[in-house]
């Protein structure tokens, strides 16, 4: 699946920005990061399985499950970062917005994985839609209407 590289690229960029915001490393942060890296390490395998069986619901579903677990792992990692920035209201609000986007994406991936047994085309549509959403520019706090 050609979009897998794009998915990994989006995750890498988000992870890069996330790690640059870290001020203090804790054991909880390290374990949350390892959890994310574990699920990301499975992407090449589930992508290969999907690529060899593009019309079979189980590989389509497994791909969605792995990406959902990546999303939930990102969410857990953000929770640790939010805990670190709890005294900075602007950073806390930013992290809350990003967390919501990651959590929503994870649920979409999970739903798409489950829907693969109904229609693989619905799943594929969701798998393409989510990376597109990450390329849309985010509105800054000052630009939001009241």
> What pLDDT was estimated at residue 136?
76
* Residues 6+ positions from 31 with CB-CB distance below 8 Å: none
* Residues 6+ positions from 144 with CB-CB distance below 8 Å: none
Query: For residues 88 and 47, which has the higher predicted lDDT (pLDDT)?
Result: 47
Residue whose C-alpha is closest to residue 9's, from 135, 136, 146: 135
Q: What pLDDT band is residue 69 in, cutting at 50, 70 and 90?
A: very high
For residue range 51-64, what is the model confidence (pLDDT) as tens digits? 999 999 999 999 99
Tokens of 81: 């970062």
Would you give the DSSP letter of residue 138?
Answer: P
| Start-to-end C-alpha separation, the chain | 42
For residue range 27-47, what is the model confidence (pLDDT) as tens digits? 999 999 999 999 999 999 999
> What pLDDT was estimated at residue 22?
79
Q: What pLDDT band is residue 135 in, cutting at 50, 70 and 90?
A: confident
Task: Give the domain ranges of the chain.
Answer: 27-136
Q: What pLDDT band is residue 6 in, cutting at 50, 70 and 90?
A: confident
pTM of the model: 0.84
CB 73 within 8 A of CB 36: yes
């Amino acid at each position: 699946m050609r979009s897998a590289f794009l998915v990994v690229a989006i995750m890498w960029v988000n992870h890069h920005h996330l790690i640059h915001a870290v001020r203090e490393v804790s054991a909880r942060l390290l374990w949350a990061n390892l959890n994310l890296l574990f699920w990301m390490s499975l992407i090449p395998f589930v992508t290969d399985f999907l690529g060899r069986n593009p019309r079979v619901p189980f590989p389509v579903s497994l791909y969605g499950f792995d990406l959902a677990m990546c999303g939930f792992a990102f969410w857990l990692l953000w929770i640790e970062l939010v805990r670190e920035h709890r005294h900075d209201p602007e950073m806390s609000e930013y992290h809350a917005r990003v967390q919501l986007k990651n959590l929503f994406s994870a649920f979409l991936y999970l739903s798409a994985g489950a829907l693969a047994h109904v229609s693989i085309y619905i799943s594929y549509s969701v798998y393409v839609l989510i990376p597109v959403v990450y390329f849309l520019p985010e509105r800054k706090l000052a630009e939001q209407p009241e």
